[in-house]
Amino acid sequence: MAASSCIREAFGRLPDGRAVERLRLRGGDGFEVGVITWGAAVQALHAPDRDGRLADIVLGHDGLDPYVARRSFFGATVGRYANRIAGAAFTLDGVAHALAANNGPNALHGGREGFDRRLWTVEAAGGDPVPSVALSLVSPDGEEGYPGTLHARVTYALTGPTELSITFEAVTDRPTLANLTHHGFFNLAGAEQGSDILGHVLTLHADDYLPVDAGAIPLGRPAPVAGTPFDFRTAQPIGARIREAHAQLERGRGYDHNYCLAGGCAARPRLAARVEHAASGRVMELFTDQPGLQFYSGNFLDGGTPGKLGRLYRQSDGFCLEPQCWPDAPNRPDFPGARLDPGQTYRHVSIYRFSAA
């Protein structure tokens, strides 16, 4: 078994000359996670199959330039508010706040230049007691229309032999919103294989989901998954019902919906989803303390930018499971809230545990 470590290396320079680093968190038997400071993104994740063969199981790029040239969210940290806010506006304590509209009339993933488009600072990195890196970012008052200066921090740590823990934290000097998430695109077959994820078998522990309008804004209260193609309470291939004539599948060109996890915001991470890939035996289990999980089946991957090894990522070449608050919660008092006040600490912990069967 190889020794655990954290290796720092250059990953390129931004157009303005600032250096971007990659930090490689190395666990036992080859398990490794590469994190870049641009967007605090997971650039690579190598996990073994049932025979111990390693593969990089996340979509992304081999170098920096494509990350900068096109906003694809591959592996990125998303904020200040992940997912959508209707009409790119919300009211807090009687004060209306206009946000940058970057998804039709709505705000998506923090606006035009969200946290995924920022260079984060390495606060700490090392291999003791476990390989980890902590990255920080200051979002000034008024950035993208959000009130308050937000000090954000994300820590990636290998907390098990093949386990990645991601902890988001934030504090503010004014009442504001905080809803950060990890936007990894996974393909358990290996990103270099060029195969889609429709045969991956998904179990998702949620009785309800949020139907959406044409702009992907929730229509109303949660709806039961029972009797619909959105029911993954028992294991189902992702592609088994993705082409059924269901209005919600038509609207999203597949799955791009928030699942309402039982218990809302939890005191500690609980099992939310499990994904299996039969050919390799790789299994990913996701534990989170968040109230929602956005399941996205890669519907809008369009082959527009070459990915790793020069491969073009096309529809359903990767899936996302994004733990977060519910979309448009700032405009929906009946949804779990995303408010953060001075003196409070926003905290979100999600754990990605890999194994092979």
* Cα(211)–Cα(108) distance, integer angstroms: 17
Exposed, middle or buried: residue 140 (CB in 10 Å: 0-12, 13-18, 19+)?
exposed
- DSSP for 261-307, written as a single string: -TTSS-SS-EEEEEEE-TTT-EEEEEEE-SSEEEEE--TT-EEEEE-
Among residues 61, 109, 183, 348, the one annotated as catalytic is: 183
Instruction: With beta carbons less than 8 A apart as the criterion, state whether 306 and 340 touch.
Output: no
Q: Would strands 41-48 and 54-56 be described as parallel, antiparallel, or unpaired?
A: antiparallel
- Which residue, chain included where needed, has tokens 């992907």? 216
In order of 33, 108, 129, 155, the CA distances from 158 in angstroms are: 8, 30, 10, 10
123 as an active site residue: the answer is no
Say whether 183 is catalytic: yes
**Cα separation of 183 and 72, whole Å?**
10
**Cα(97)–Cα(80) distance, integer angstroms:** 14
Q: Coil, strand, or helix at residue 318?
A: coil
Choose, from 200, 276, 322, 348, the residue flagged as catalytic: 322
- What is residue 188's three-state secondary structure? coil
- CA–CA gap between residue 70 and residue 95 (Å, rounded): 34
User: Annotated active-site positions, please?
Assistant: 183, 322
